[in-house]
Structure 1
Amino acid sequence: MKVLLIDDHAMFREGIALLLRPLVAELQISEAGSCEQALALLAELGAVDLVLMDLGLPGISGVEGIALLRERFPETPVVALSSSDDKATVLRALDAGAMGFIPKSANSAILIQALRLVMAKGIYLPPSVFLGGRDSGPAEAAASAPASEKKSLQTLGLSPRQIEVLYLLLQGKSAKLICRELDLSASTVKAHTSSVLRALNVTTRTQAVVAASRLGLRFD
């Protein structure tokens, strides 16, 4: 598995790398100190399996950096890292295309849990995103389900192909890219997308990320 860490603090990158190595066999970790450096590195490396990106980078930063990374390398899933975990910040990162959000203020046990989840193709979001406020409604209802009601992908009633569409959608991939990756027509992808959003009781991709996280869905 190839992972790119983007953070302007070398000690933090080293710390995250130390936490990651025991979690995944045959792990290859690359590091960048800025979004600009990361873009150049990705152009050289090609696709990686996961990008962990700090929102407080010098130069291009925050949601602008996520959006640019997703635009240039749409096949690469991005998980945001930030010292701020308020709901507005988390949702802005998700709107920009992030697949998850890990607070840098989390204690080591939670940080390891979050990293283990995202490395296993799960979605981690901080508890703040499940509180009231923006995006209340269908996504909020799904996010408010008690832990005992967490669902598996099978219990959602999705077909194997719809599960593939859901995972790519959560990664922030466009309908055009999903069509290409799965070799499906635009109308078929549109139908599958409608089905998976309906299964999660949401209407947008950001709401789907929130709901999938709260339901504990995994794609490994």
Structure 2
Amino acid sequence: MKILLVDDHNLFAEGLKTLLCDFDPAPEVILCPSCEQALDTPDLAAVDLVLLDYYLSGVSGIEALRSLRAACVNSLIAVVSALEDPEVIHDLIEAGAAGFIPKTTTYASLSSALRTVLSGTIYLPPALLAIQDNNKSTNAPSGLNLLSPRQREVLDQVVMGKPNKVIASNLGISENTVKAHVSASFRLLQVKNRTEAVFAAAKLQNSRIEASV
């Protein structure tokens, strides 16, 4: 596992790196204090996970995310920030983020969130999911159980922010087939776009965690 940690707050970045290196197996962690330096990382395409701070000098969080999303088409990108504005988080997801981890969370919750994203699973704060539930009632989690194995494969890559062309290449199918699976999956989930699908996937993950406790 190769992780790119993009954060210009040295104390937090070093602490997060230490936490990650305590995992078993320990991932390779590359620290970058800027988006520009991150984009110049050797063998950037081999990065499995990008942990991106929302506040970076010289570039907005959305711009940094879009640049890294374009450069790391097969990488999972999660934003780590002290900012917990629901509208901003929605915008980040719309721009290709596959998760959001608050810097204000407890050590135990941070560790759990990191393990979740390291497993390739969507993570969103439970408080944010609660707000989403209050704003819109959805049967998406149960709808996920109705998806075919191929639809689930496509959806997993959609919520990670991968474009249709990349999904088609990864799965060995045509872009038109990808589009058909996406449309069918969205109908079953009763969602209209990728952002709502990400929330549905995160909600299902949280319900599974709660059921296992």
Shift of 1:131: 4.4
Distance in 2 (CA, whole Å) between partners of 1:24 and 1:205 is 32
Distance in 1 (CA, whole Å) between partners of 2:123 and 2:205 is 9
Matches within 5 A, 1:69-84: 69-84=68-83
Q: Which has the higher contact order (CA 8 A, sep 6+)?
A: 1
Shift of 1:186: 2.0
Change (3 A) 1:16 1:152: farther
Which letter maps to 1:210? F
Cα contact 2:96–2:161 (8 A) shared by 1: yes
Shift of 1:165: 0.5
Equivalent position of 1:195 in the other structure: 184
Cα contact 2:47–2:72 (8 A) shared by 1: no
Which letter maps to 2:194? R
Gaps of 5+ in 2: 209-213
Change (3 A) 1:23 1:132: same
Kindly provide the CA deviation profile for residues 10-53 of structure 1, in whole angstroms up to 9, marking residues without a partner as x.
22111111221233414111110011110011x54432110000
Matches within 5 A, 1:118-157: 118-132=117-131, 136-137=135-136, 140-142=137-139, 156-157=145-146
Kindly provide the CA deviation profile for residues 130-162 of structure 1, in whole angstroms up to 9, marking residues without a partner as x.
24479944xx5257xxxxxx6696xx1222222
Distance in 2 (CA, whole Å) between partners of 1:55 and 1:173 is 20
Change (3 A) 1:203 1:152: closer
User: Please, what TM-score do these two structures have when normalized by structure 1?
Assistant: 0.85
Please, which moves more after superposition, 43-52 or 111-120? Answer: 43-52
Kindly provide the CA deviation profile for residues 157-190 of structure 1, in whole angstroms up to 9, marking residues without a partner as x.
2222222111110111111111111110122111
Distance in 2 (CA, whole Å) between partners of 1:5 and 1:94 is 18
| Identity across matched positions, percent | 42
Task: Name the SS of the counterpart of 1:99 in structure 2.
Answer: coil
Gaps of 5+ in 1: 144-149
Equivalent position of 1:91 in the other structure: 90
Equivalent position of 1:146 in the other structure: none
Distance in 2 (CA, whole Å) between partners of 1:31 and 1:56 is 15
Distance in 2 (CA, whole Å) between partners of 1:114 and 1:136 is 24
Distance in 2 (CA, whole Å) between partners of 1:110 and 1:133 is 20
Distance in 2 (CA, whole Å) between partners of 1:167 and 1:24 is 24
Cα contact 2:8–2:32 (8 A) shared by 1: yes
Computed over aligned residues only, the root mean square deviation of the Cα atoms, in angstroms, reads 2.4
Equivalent position of 1:166 in the other structure: 155
Distance in 2 (CA, whole Å) between partners of 1:66 and 1:17 is 20
Equivalent position of 2:113 in the other structure: 114
Shift of 1:200: 2.2
Change (3 A) 1:174 1:18: same
Cα contact 1:87–1:128 (8 A) shared by 2: no
Bigger proportion of residues as helix: 2
Kindly provide the CA deviation profile for residues 82-104 of structure 1, in whole angstroms up to 9, marking residues without a partner as x.
11112112111111100000000
Distance in 1 (CA, whole Å) between partners of 2:133 and 2:116 is 25
Cα contact 1:35–1:61 (8 A) shared by 2: no
Distance in 1 (CA, whole Å) between partners of 2:46 and 2:139 is 33
